[in-house]
Amino acid sequence: MCAFNYRFMPATRLARQLIEQGEIGDIYHFRARYLQEWIIDPGFDLVWRLQKDTAGSGALGDLGAHIIDLARFLVGEVDAVSALMKTFVPERPGGIVDVDDAFEAIVEFACGAVGTLEASRFCQGRKNALTWELNGSKGSMAFDLERPNELQIHLVGSQPGGVAQGFRQVIVSESHHPFWKHWWPQGHLLGWEHAIIHELHHFLSAIAGQSEVRPYGADFEDGYRAAEVCEAIARSATTGQREPVRYRSL
Ligand SMILES: NC(=O)c1ccc[n+]([C@@H]2O[C@H](COP(=O)([O-])OP(=O)(O)OC[C@H]3O[C@@H](n4cnc5c(N)ncnc54)[C@H](O)[C@@H]3O)[C@@H](O)[C@H]2O)c1
């Protein structure tokens, strides 16, 4: 299993459930941002996360991989990307920074949807701000990790009708909501760590033969595919060209 823990937020799982049930219709757009602020100070040391030989890449592999996985989890495979990467502070106490501080990417999905992905460690005021929005023919959904129990949902044609259309804030903490059977009475909220517990439960259940890792957990193939999307983003940032995502077979 590959530890993409954000799949295990109840709001994310509910979003996936609504897509599977056809409630959102054909997906047109997916845009996700993962923003942090912790290395803005140029005097911050060259830690392992800022070195290519230990971390592989910067914001792309650390933060981008999570939103790439969410894009695949909610929308499907990514066919091609157009991207840029930026290192704002190329030298720090301890040496040269050879990874990206931020990346921006336009993505094309196999299903025909389009979207944008963005991650940065240079966003003043953003602590661990992962947000996404998805727009389909029948509705839209949005999520903000800083409000982890909530899923914003707009469904076209929902009651009470034309004069009061718009997003509603669903608190994903009813007894019938994903994962809730393991926890508290309704409305007694969950945090970041609970998604990790859901993930470990999923992992152990799969080992015990009670469930499969896929489709709700990420397996090695999902980890590999997210890494190939990262590679395509890095290639596009280097070539300045739109790059197809290439998946190799064994
Ligand atoms: N899924 C998520 O949301 C999420 C969030 C944060 C971190 N992570 C991942 O968790 C891992 C750790 O991240 P972190 O933020 O805790 O990093 P960190 O730098 O704060 O901690 C790493 C620890 O590993 C120790 N260490 C390094 N090399 C070691 C070795 N050879 N043997 C034993 N210990 C060693 C270091 O001394 C340090 O205490 C990373 O792979 C990171 O990508 C995942």
Distance 12 CA to ligand 1 centre (A): 25
The CB density around residue 19, as the number of other CB atoms within 10 Å, is 20
Atom of ligand 1 nearest to the CA of 49: 19
Of ligand 1's listed atoms, the one at least distance from the Cα of 5 is 1
pLDDT at residue 101 in the model: 98
Instruction: Work out the pLDDT band at 222, boundaries 50, 70, 90.
Output: very high
Of 50-64, 154-168, 185-199, where does mean pLDDT reach its minimum? 154-168
For residue 216, the Cα-to-chain-centroid distance in whole angstroms is 14
pLDDT at 249: 82
Q: Beta-carbon neighbour count of residue 45 at 10 Å?
A: 11
- 57: Cβ below 6 Å to ligand 1? no
What integer best gives the mean pLDDT of the chain? 96
pLDDT at 202: 97
Question: pLDDT digits over 102-155, tens only?
Answer: 999 999 999 999 999 999 999 999 999 999 999 999 999 999 999 999 999 999
Range from 70-74, 164-168, 187-191 carrying the lowest mean pLDDT? 164-168
Kindly report, residue by residue over 70-99, the tens digit of the pLDDT. 999 999 999 999 999 999 999 999 999 999
Per-residue confidence (pLDDT) for residue 149, from 0 to 100: 98
Give the residue from 113, 94, 79 showing the smallest Cα distance to 49: 94
Q: How many A from CA of 49 to the centre of ligand 1? A: 9
Calpha distance 203→118 (Å, rounded): 29
> Measured between alpha carbons, how far is residue 205 from residues 182, 197, 210, 213, 215 in Å?
14, 12, 5, 9, 14
pLDDT-above-70 percentage for the chain: 100
Choose among 199, 192, 194: nearest CA to 217: 199
CA–CA separation, 117 and 33 (whole Å): 6
pLDDT at site 65: 98
Quick one: pLDDT band at residue 46, thresholds 50, 70, 90?
very high
Task: Say how many residues make up the chain.
Answer: 250
Asked if 217 and 206 touch (Cβ cutoff 8 Å), the reply is yes
Q: Rounded to the nearest 5 degrees, what angle is found at the Cα of 190, between the Cα atoms of 184 and 194? A: 100
Residue-wise pLDDT tens digits, 11-40: 999 999 999 999 999 999 999 999 999 999
pLDDT (0 to 100) of residue 164:
83
Q: Is the pLDDT of residue 160 over 90?
A: no
| Mean pLDDT across 186-190 | 94
Q: Provide the terminal-to-terminal Cα distance of the chain, rounded to the nearest Å.
A: 18
H-only helix segments in 81-142: none
Q: Which atom of ligand 1 is nearest to the CA of 62?
A: 43
Please confirm whether the linkage preceding 160 is cis (ω < 30° from 0).
Answer: yes
Q: Judging by beta carbons within 10 Å of its beta carbon (0-12, 13-18, 19+), is residue 190 exposed, middle or buried?
A: buried
Whole-number Å distance between alpha carbons of 129 and 40 = 15
Protein residue closest via CA to atom 12 of ligand 1: 49
Does residue 161 register a pLDDT over 80? Answer: no
